[in-house]
Amino acid sequence: MTDCIFCKIVNGEIPSAKIYENDYVIAINDINPKAKAHVLVLPKVHLDSFNELGDEKLMSELLKGVKAVVKIMNLKSYRLHVNTGKDEGQIVFHFHIHVLSNHP
């Protein structure tokens, strides 16, 4: 996906401050945070939305990424958020999980 901003971040074409990375996922700070801590955990492969996620291994790695972010940032409480589809607020069409906390 050549026009995808998250693919460009994954490929190193756009710099980002990485919170966590493994072979499957990357976690970065949201540039427009909606909470004191707002991190995006995204797969390194392009999927438009949650609806395209069918790989159990990838889902497991995404959840490992969430847990790693929580530990690295020492979040005491947090919420996870996924937007799927334009009508539900999805702006960037590369699946990602928001990790948000007002109590970092």
pLDDT tens per residue, range 36-45: 999 999 999 9
Domains of the chain (ranges, CATH numbers): 5-101 (3.30.428.10)
Q: What gap in Å lies between CA 16 and CA 79, rounded to an integer?
A: 22
Confidence of residue 55 (pLDDT cuts 50, 70, 90): confident
Q: What gap in Å lies between CA 24 and CA 103, rounded to an integer?
A: 28
Q: What does the DSSP 8-state code read for residue 48?
A: S
In single-letter form, the type of residue at position 94 comes to H
Confidence of residue 103 (pLDDT cuts 50, 70, 90): confident
Q: What does the DSSP 8-state code read for residue 26?
A: E
Average pLDDT of the residues in 45-55: 93
Closest residue by Cα to residue 29 from 42, 15, 14, 18: 18
pLDDT on residue 51: 95
Which residues are marked as active site?
Answer: 96
pLDDT on residue 1: 55
Is residue 73 scored above 70 in pLDDT?
A: yes
